[in-house]
Structure 1
């Protein structure tokens, strides 16, 4: 087993108690503030008579960047633990630090002496021209960041800006808390008759949820040991954790159960949610949402923008709100004919199951019946062919063929074991650590997989670029990239390894695409290394691009084999899986556009919307875009963490924008060979390796040799054929009409 390189600077997860991390964060902020104080003194004395030269300015910037490593590390660890191992102690420390971090971030963004150093560099055109492209790009992006932090505002308005930033950080954290608490507070004990239709893996999931329920009830004192022992075994419980929720919504024959669970899910953290947190406080996010929008609008107006959507787009590829709205609405027009066919197919099959009025809680259930009938595809049978160990080894084999890289697992047998320093410490038994090497066995970076759903873990899937590639020659400090890749997949049950649905396989490929973007960078300036500095509407390009190999026959052969027999996926099932790729793609696209347009419009609206206005806007968007009716009680927005607690505010459209880029990029592989190593090398060198050191548009055009085209997206989504059929049908009808006339 290869030892761990010191250049990875791995965390000992047995060591950092929340209180220790809190002190480390405070100490790091104090050290950075002391440096800023020193710059201020220098400005008021020496620089008052002698302007700073560009070379010294760059030295000061590099020194300040290095000082901030300690903060990035300590806060990064605490934030990560708050997402994957949240408890009252971690959450309390995390939230207590938010105002301090916000105040520090605002001070940096408004610090005139630091700002003047960046100005000195860019104003010295001869010196600026000598900088490597990555450094020049980092300087340009930093200057833009200063402007968006209010560096040019009068002192009174800077203070107002700082207050807004602090309030926003606290409100976003509370929003996220409410969604997590509401999700985990819901439990519904199930009767035997409600289990009809559930697959073996579904039954195992609700039984496992029942065991967790018993443990939690005993731990919080709600039930005694005698009362727990009196409960049936197995004890079946429905929850809103995604694997359990999907198992029921997809397979449970009990329509009332599906509706009950659907209602619970779409009313989380809303006025319809009666759950409270540990302090007895309501989890309703309604007021928080309107407060966040109000503060974002105030921030936009202080910076001279008309609305917050303009602030968001100022750092993205898209130029304007109008451009994004036009893109979304045009794509909706392209998707609607296919979506109408999708809906008609579901409605037809629903009739066969006695459902006259198809509702949202029926969609996944009926869709599964359609797959079994039309494509002879059973998700349960398919799941047996995607055991997680096989999927992971196949994924690694794919990227080795594409990019000439190798992955080696390096995990000890028990979490938090730091006695052997050649092993990687972990925060949970489920976690695995890997090292990434190039073809010449040079270490490129390291990554952690934390893939299973559990209590205290935020829902969804994400890649956290915890540590960037970075060099600081002054102290001979070399740092390789490290990231966390997190999922909420079905855990191992009944003595078998985790068996993934194909949707979960696609999600794993998606997050690994993000991970490769972070790990394969050759840039050593942290601000533009990996995913850093990449425009938000382009950062999903490598992730969505990677999904294509989960839909390729040769790729599927590498990631699939039966969990018991090791037999390959039979040809009929492979053909069915490939045929189902665009199943319901029209409805799914309209759903994504609905979310994206809603996000854009609530942030572009002036005056700012209250909660009622938010819901009215959502309903208006649904009237324009959706073709499936949504119940009045649906409060999807109250759990929309991407835009109220994440980085996607007025940027959720990025998924579709980047999907266009990824589809067009993959079309080059379709032309030249899906596993063509020359094309893979080109993608690595022009997209993955350069990070944010050039604008995303430049990177894409360097790879593709031209500007992006929407044609591949329409083709990959199955819209082109449908639209052509519609046009041909319309033309034929027109000819028939003319003949009659």
Structure 2
């Protein structure tokens, strides 16, 4: 087994036990609380005034003490996302109130707050600090204010109660989505399989084997009964690869509607499933409670609504600014979206569909691609075997940034056999950090894709301790089946590039102040810049040449298929843009509304936004909001607009490569030095302008999206993080 650099501080997942993690988290909180008690005792001494130098020493010591908490809670949270079971979930949720109480105590701890104030108030001392440390202190002071440090004691206690309730409610919201997703299983008849591709059938057969195993384990079927079932046994599920296979290719329109309805009613009043305790999975009441608590928190802190709280730490200045940005972009996208819809409707009539419905969109879109562009996702899937895509991705970033990747999966302990581990090296062969890929859908894993900045780059000079950055990059791709490697759709390729962009942002930082290293401390509406930026190389013909190779023949993607793929790049871009704006506006408006909305108000707001923005009518039973984990269980509350905001930045940044050459190493080095390396140590607006030499323009976004006209839309782009 290869001996890996000790500064990676890798986790021995094989020896990781949830109960041990619970003990370690509790011990870490106790140790940190003891330190805070010591600070409070010192302040109580007569004539005690802590100087800036001692204050900084105390801050650094406290940061170092918190490493153990960050690490052990980070491991437990990660396992709860990728290997969830009753034991892990129980331990995770049992710790939430204690963690919330600790976080609130830190944010309201006057002696600790006074240390930060002492550093800033000594202006001559503050001026000597490295920029990253100064930025971290400024952000910490902002965090204290948003944690209620200035509130009276009674209101601080109310704040603490709110935070505790919110952490528990968000976790339950997420549980309900995972449980509802996994509870749905629909065995299919042979007639319902018409139109499905070979890879789709393989996915359904694999889902069938998992279904049999669950039925046997739950005592719902005996082995004798299972033996009577046909082989292969095809089962449809709501796991994304299976769901998309059916929605894109199944000729049976009723089947598509059944799956669509099951998906958009998860965790709602229409969902009759229960969890292992027999409890309802309906998120309706949880959503209204979360909004009410967030509004209460905002009022305590002196804001008018929670959207203002959220935007106080972002690039955007106000709710009005964000709403103008979204609605103006919607105006630009609408003509294209109308044309997109007409195109679908015309094709739908050729297949006997007189009134296009949401469950027809993916199916008809695939027919249009085949007919108009001679492009089939299934026809190009064999050209994107995952190992080739990964190798090509690594080749691209080596050319851009001079970095090299080496796999060391067999040398490390992993949480699942499918997980891969890599080390990242700089041009001089020095080790930069490490990362894990966990890319396939499976039971017990939450849906979607994300990068978790598990371990930030960090150095503690007093003890000589240092750690290199390590992150987890997670997806839910089609697994390897029938002896072949995983074959990706181009959409899955884009997702991999997206998450790897987040990973590079985390890994390539040169900042050793953990709070602003990598993605830490980066404004939320700028954090998607490096990820969306990375997707561009999966659209460029020179990039595609590096990531494509037929799984059987090894031939590159033929020119005809490449031309078709590139020609279809902006296919349905208008409707897709409006869909993202619909989600973003809904998120913004429910968090800007006072008083806080109840469930009926939440649904009414979503309906109103759809009436303004959407091209197609949505069925009355659609309960998308009940599964909107980004805003009710993630970090995107009143911040989902960040995807479009950062897309403007990423398109403008990539236009520099279009001007200089997409593999221009000088431009690549400039992007690394001004964006990726500095993390949150400078405001994102400054980082962008340092790279681009000017403020951001929307022209590139409009061009990349295929929208006509280039009139500028008004947009002033003035802890471990998990980003999707």
TM-score interval, smaller chain:
over 0.9
Aligned to 1:518: 506
Aligned to 1:24: 24
Equivalents in 1 of 2:37, 2:17: separation in Å?
A: 30
Aligned to 1:400: 398
Equivalents in 2 of 1:612, 1:438: separation in Å?
A: 54
Aligned to 1:55: 53
Paired residue total: 712
Out of 641, 644, 652, the position equivalent to 1:656 is: 644
Equivalents in 1 of 2:594, 2:349: separation in Å?
A: 45
**Offset at residue 721 of structure 1 (A):** 5.7
Out of 468, 477, 488, the position equivalent to 2:456 is: 468
Aligned to 2:550: 562
Say whether residues 1:35 and 2:23 are aligned partners.
no
Aligned 1:116-265 pairs, distance under 5 A:
116-265=114-263
Say whether residues 1:443 and 2:441 are aligned partners.
no
Aligned to 1:644: 632
Aligned to 1:418: none
Aligned 1:483-502 pairs, distance under 5 A:
483-502=471-490
Equivalents in 2 of 1:38, 1:59: separation in Å?
A: 14
Out of 661, 671, 675, the position equivalent to 2:663 is: 675
Equivalents in 2 of 1:627, 1:50: separation in Å?
A: 66
Aligned to 2:389: 391
Judge conservation of contact 2:702–2:710 (CA < 8 Å) in 1: no
Equivalents in 2 of 1:245, 1:301: separation in Å?
A: 42
Out of 540, 544, 550, the position equivalent to 2:528 is: 540
Out of 72, 88, 91, the position equivalent to 2:89 is: 91
Equivalents in 2 of 1:508, 1:379: separation in Å?
A: 16
**What are the Cα deviations for residues 107-135 of structure 1, in whole angstroms up to 9, with x where unaligned?**
00000000000000000000000000000
Judge conservation of contact 1:337–1:722 (CA < 8 Å) in 2: no
Equivalents in 2 of 1:59, 1:550: separation in Å?
A: 46
Aligned 1:374-389 pairs, distance under 5 A:
374-389=372-387
Say whether residues 1:613 and 2:601 are aligned partners.
yes
Q: SS at 1:475's partner residue?
A: coil
**Offset at residue 723 of structure 1 (A):** 9.4
**Offset at residue 228 of structure 1 (A):** 1.1
Judge conservation of contact 1:334–1:723 (CA < 8 Å) in 2: no
Aligned 1:592-611 pairs, distance under 5 A:
592-611=580-599
Root-mean-square deviation (CA, aligned residues, Å) is 0.9
Equivalents in 2 of 1:143, 1:721: separation in Å?
A: 44
Equivalents in 1 of 2:711, 2:114: separation in Å?
A: 55
**Offset at residue 276 of structure 1 (A):** 0.2
**What are the Cα deviations for residues 500-525 of structure 1, in whole angstroms up to 9, with x where unaligned?**
00000000000000000000000000
Aligned to 1:371: 369
Aligned to 1:266: 264
Equivalents in 2 of 1:674, 1:316: separation in Å?
A: 30
Out of 252, 256, 281, the position equivalent to 2:279 is: 281
Aligned to 1:704: 692
**What are the Cα deviations for residues 592-636 of structure 1, in whole angstroms up to 9, with x where unaligned?**
000000000000000110000000000000000111110000000
Equivalents in 2 of 1:74, 1:218: separation in Å?
A: 35
Aligned to 2:716: none
Q: Are the structure 2 counterparts of residues 368 and 147 from structure 1 closer, same or farther at C-alpha, using a change threshold of 3 Å?
A: same
Aligned to 1:505: 493
Judge conservation of contact 1:338–1:722 (CA < 8 Å) in 2: no
**What are the Cα deviations for residues 168-227 of structure 1, in whole angstroms up to 9, with x where unaligned?**
000000000000000000000000000000000000000000000001111111111111
Equivalents in 2 of 1:142, 1:722: separation in Å?
A: 40
Equivalents in 2 of 1:627, 1:371: separation in Å?
A: 20
**Offset at residue 14 of structure 1 (A):** 1.0
**Offset at residue 720 of structure 1 (A):** 2.5
Aligned to 2:13: 13
TM-score by length of 1: 0.96
Equivalents in 1 of 2:616, 2:565: separation in Å?
A: 26
Judge conservation of contact 2:699–2:710 (CA < 8 Å) in 1: no
Aligned to 1:300: 298
Aligned to 1:77: 75
Equivalents in 1 of 2:275, 2:2: separation in Å?
A: 45
Aligned to 2:418: 430
Equivalents in 1 of 2:48, 2:285: separation in Å?
A: 52
Aligned to 1:350: 348
Equivalents in 1 of 2:423, 2:262: separation in Å?
A: 41
Judge conservation of contact 2:306–2:592 (CA < 8 Å) in 1: yes
Judge conservation of contact 2:505–2:518 (CA < 8 Å) in 1: yes
Q: SS at 1:174's partner residue?
A: helix
In structure 1, the gaps of 5 or more residues are: 413-422, 725-741
Equivalents in 1 of 2:633, 2:472: separation in Å?
A: 19
Judge conservation of contact 2:703–2:710 (CA < 8 Å) in 1: no
Aligned to 1:736: none
Equivalents in 2 of 1:128, 1:172: separation in Å?
A: 38
**Offset at residue 673 of structure 1 (A):** 0.5
Equivalents in 2 of 1:303, 1:720: separation in Å?
A: 44
Q: Are the structure 2 counterparts of residues 723 and 207 from structure 1 closer, same or farther at C-alpha, using a change threshold of 3 Å?
A: farther
Aligned to 1:410: 408
Q: SS at 2:708's partner residue?
A: helix
Out of 534, 555, 563, the position equivalent to 1:575 is: 563
**What are the Cα deviations for residues 450-470 of structure 1, in whole angstroms up to 9, with x where unaligned?**
000000000000000000000
Equivalents in 2 of 1:50, 1:706: separation in Å?
A: 48
**Offset at residue 41 of structure 1 (A):** 0.3
Judge conservation of contact 1:399–1:405 (CA < 8 Å) in 2: yes
Aligned to 1:328: 326
**Offset at residue 657 of structure 1 (A):** 0.2
Equivalents in 2 of 1:2, 1:287: separation in Å?
A: 52
Judge conservation of contact 1:459–1:488 (CA < 8 Å) in 2: yes
Judge conservation of contact 1:686–1:699 (CA < 8 Å) in 2: yes
Judge conservation of contact 2:386–2:488 (CA < 8 Å) in 1: yes
Q: SS at 1:719's partner residue?
A: coil
**Offset at residue 2 of structure 1 (A):** 5.3
**Offset at residue 3 of structure 1 (A):** 3.0
Judge conservation of contact 1:337–1:723 (CA < 8 Å) in 2: no
Equivalents in 1 of 2:91, 2:684: separation in Å?
A: 37
Equivalents in 1 of 2:243, 2:148: separation in Å?
A: 44
**Offset at residue 144 of structure 1 (A):** 0.1
**What are the Cα deviations for residues 214-259 of structure 1, in whole angstroms up to 9, with x where unaligned?**
0111111111111111111110000000000000000000000000
In structure 2, the gaps of 5 or more residues are: 713-724
Equivalents in 1 of 2:253, 2:83: separation in Å?
A: 34
Judge conservation of contact 2:42–2:48 (CA < 8 Å) in 1: no
